[in-house]
Chain A
């Protein structure tokens, strides 16, 4: 665990700046690269918070696996006909709606901070050792929330089986879409 404010501020700066770049860059490849930086910076935040296991999972899945899937999708789907026509009126309406949403959210946060009881002012990060965290993970996955873990495993199995079935159908040509 690193309890250093400089690391936190650097990671936060990377998250905010590259998150905005990822959303507002025109090139989808650059957008994906910025998203990778955001996901790695988030894993640094998880490491600072004392959850090394979540940091590794975040870096491996969101930093490597998800960008590979998205990159393959970009390779398969771009280059033919990108008719990205801009509707300026709709663009400005959505920006205005987003700004109103942000203001409403800030108002809700301010109201909830005003209504927060005094006993909720928590400012100290709890100190855990790695063995304690890993044993808690094992207890949570295999004892406390084993039904959720099995449900997630079933979901992953269904997704893999569905992909295989759709691929076989699309090869034989009797897929309807």
Chain B
């Protein structure tokens, strides 16, 4: 197995964004997907840094792809998406819309936000030119095994969500803007202060989700370490690591050592906790019991003082 770094899901400054890819040039990963996945309004802030990042990564021997947006609605977004094919690197589609612009016969990658649930969809995408598919994080191991076998048969590399906060939903509405009493068109980039998303807690004060503009993610960080042997045996070709603002290169290193057999599962997990002991890791959806169960198999249901909701804190009836 090898490693792909997925696109950064969050809104970082152009310098922080570019630094990530400088760092990754020397990280032990095989390929990198970059570009804007979540919100087209973020792109102008770092768009002019993309060509340099691509050059640096290619020079370092990485395979590189540009992602499409996860949800394409506006005319401006359609144009941006159409232009992806002209950038000279592979395209990773994260909305089927991007597929419509690729010239007939173009090879492409499929990202985790395209609904690939079954054999027929893998076959159809392969017939359109897909050579690499990162499966949706929601799939249980049973589905992954079946689809990895189809991938092997067709020569399509199958990736699985390996590490990072799990993308759970995408919306037309911006929740960061709503939290600040604004609408999306006048968001004033409310998401820029939360480099890994903003924690969302339940009424019992349990950490629960992470808000990231129009996207909603898991609070916990999916960690496929304990499943990696099962995934490798199934024929999964790649683990996907999702960028985070701290210690990301170190996390890439730990996964590389896992894949190379230099570290066992327990050492990699404790290595991740050593980087940040407050990180909450989970098996993600692979074990099929919901993504809130921690690696220890326990739900965290600590009861705090009762807390009530006020129905109209955030005006939505506009």
Our verdict on whether A and B bind, yes or no, reads no
